[in-house]
A and B are shown apart, each in its own frame.
Chain A
Amino acid sequence: MSPGEDLLSALRPMFVSVDAAGRIAALGPTLEKVLGRVAGRPFFEVLEVVRPRDVQDATGLCASAGRRLHITARAAPETGLVGLAVPDGAGGVVLDLGFGIGVAEAVRRHGLTGSDFSPTDLTMEILFLIEAQRAAMTASRRLNNRLHAARQTAEAEAATDMLTGLANRRAADLALAALGEGDAAFGLVHLDLDRFKQVNDRFGHHAGDMVLKDVALALKGAIRPEDLAARNGGDEFLMIFPGLSDLARLEGLCARLIARIERPHAHGAARFAISASAGIAVWPGGPGSDPGALLARADAALYAAKRAGRGRAASAPAPTGASGAESGKSGRKFLPEGLDPPGRKP
């Protein structure tokens, strides 16, 4: 190498000089790592100028001075290079090459190290930034995933009764409020276990918890997918049946449910039986539904069932005045007494 080429090698380790005959006269050590020992070979045999297309010989290279060249090595076409050609005043050119945007991939593919780049070259800083950015993105994604999972858990917990996995009071209130905004028919069943406290007192809270879980299973098994079964707290449960205001159907459902709950329970060596009472109230559809008032009617029906001897369901009369209201079904086993008519305007 000439003294001038030594200087270039030190300053620009990816330079390549091309003589007037179009042969590679000299090249920098980093470029040699990428291209191999190519000194003396015709430039266009080793490299291809992809853009601009008209640069296909030494003359073209000279004429391209000042323009950005897109170049690939024929031996390593996947490594993109960018270049700048400067005429050397003797019919040849000196090109300075770089990896451009594909630098990280090129460094990996050709096993380049920090000493392959001049300290003034920003390649190391670019590689640093790429890794720093990847680390920051990873951290950010992890944080987002954790927050997302925490939010989903919080949302589920805010609507779930932790012991039984049923909906909780809050979820039931939200569902009722949603029903109150529409005109659709719906039914409510308020269910309360009979003498649950005695199970707790005699067999302990574990036994009581087991009973509550059993009952929750029974409730889940009794309802349709679109219905909601909630534990209001203690041994009180609420079932909401959107679109279902058929008292006979709800009474049948309650009878089956109570029979299921009355099956003997076992906890350890202990065997015991419990029962449940239920109050049913329906909104037959139409404007003016008031879930709060309907809930009060279901409550009243529940207490009527308790008064009538427990282990049974009672229905509140359908509210009067609502469109399509048909009450006075005589087939009900237990007609609660003392229930005030709703007295609400449609």
Chain B
Amino acid sequence: MHGLVNATLQCFVADTYGAKTWGAVLRRADLSGTEFEAMLVYDDAVTARLVAGIAAELARPADTVLEDVGHYLVSHARRAGLRRLLRFSGRDFRDFLHALDELPDRVRLAVPDLDLPRIELRALSPEGALIACRNDLPGASHVLLGLLRAMADDYGALAYLDLARGEGGTDVISVRVASEAFSEGRAFSLAAEGARR
């Protein structure tokens, strides 16, 4: 598993619940003392143990924890770089949604060895979309669900999202965009903040 995934779980728990909680998760997962590096590769089993450890430590189902991870990736101040990269996908939420199947390729442009599950757009309409997500990484569809909910907020769109368990490890997320400009959304300038002189 790409270290970015484990490092993301580490940042999510540490930023949201504190370093102590992360320490407890590592103990549960029998990984005490491990610092995950985003640029190294780890055994797949480690990720599964981490997710189970987080769910147990927070006493919440793994699915809802993973949805929170998706939300965290977009909305937390420390992940602002990723949120910016996502915003490059579309001018508004519908645009973003309709370019979602490009996301794994976009991610590969940024991180060549990170293989994300295939995302397939079905039943595209101005009102929304059905998004099929293969769970090659267990729970990936729940991360995507959280990420989409946060992106809708980021664009200021009002959208209703739902996840249905599909067959053969493919879940389907339905998105209904009720209003494209429901709120202000967050500002996005093409120019990177860090690049300002």
Contact = CB atoms under 8 A, between A and B. Distances in A.
A107 B85 contact: no
Contacts of B189: 111, 113
A339 interface: no
Interface string A210-239: 000000000000000000000000000000
Interface in B26-49: 35, 37-40
A135 B84 CA distance: 11
Given A140-B39, A143-B38, A130 B192 contact: yes
B168 interface: no
Contacts of A149: none
Contact of B190 (A113, A125, A129, A135): A113
Contacts of B109: 125, 128-129, 132
Contacts, number: 64
B196 A108 contact: yes
Nearest to B81: A135
A143 B85 contact: no
Interface string A142-182: 01001000000000000000000000000000000000000
Contacts of A134: 192, 194-195
Given A139-B39, A143-B39, A104 B81 contact: no
B88 interface: yes
Interface string B78-114: 0001101100101100000000000000100111000
Nearest to A115: B91
B191 interface: yes
Residue among A115, A133, A135, A146 having the largest count of chain B Cβ atoms under 10 Å: A135
Given A113-B190, A135-B110, A140-B39, A124 B88 contact: yes
A143 B106 CA distance: 23
Main secondary structure of the interface of B (DSSP, over half): loop
Main secondary structure of the interface of A (DSSP, over half): helix
A139 B7 CA distance: 11
A130 B192 CA distance: 9
B85 A131 contact: yes
B7 to A, nearest CB: 9
A114 interface: yes
A107 B106 CA distance: 21
Contact of A135 (B40, B85, B90, B106): B85
Interface string B160-197: 00000000000000000000000000000111101110
25 contacts: A104-B191, A108-B191, A111-B189, A113-B190, A114-B90, A114-B91, A114-B190, A115-B91, A125-B109, A127-B190, A128-B88, A128-B109, A131-B84, A131-B192, A132-B85, A132-B109, A132-B110, A133-B110, A134-B192, A135-B81, A139-B38, A140-B39, A143-B38, A143-B40, A146-B35
The 5 A-B pairs of least Cβ separation, nearest first, read A108-B191, A132-B110, A128-B88, A114-B91, A135-B81
Interface of B: 35, 37-40, 81-82, 84-85, 88, 90-91, 106, 109-111, 189-192, 194-196
Interface of A: 104-105, 107-108, 111-115, 124-125, 127-136, 139-140, 143, 146
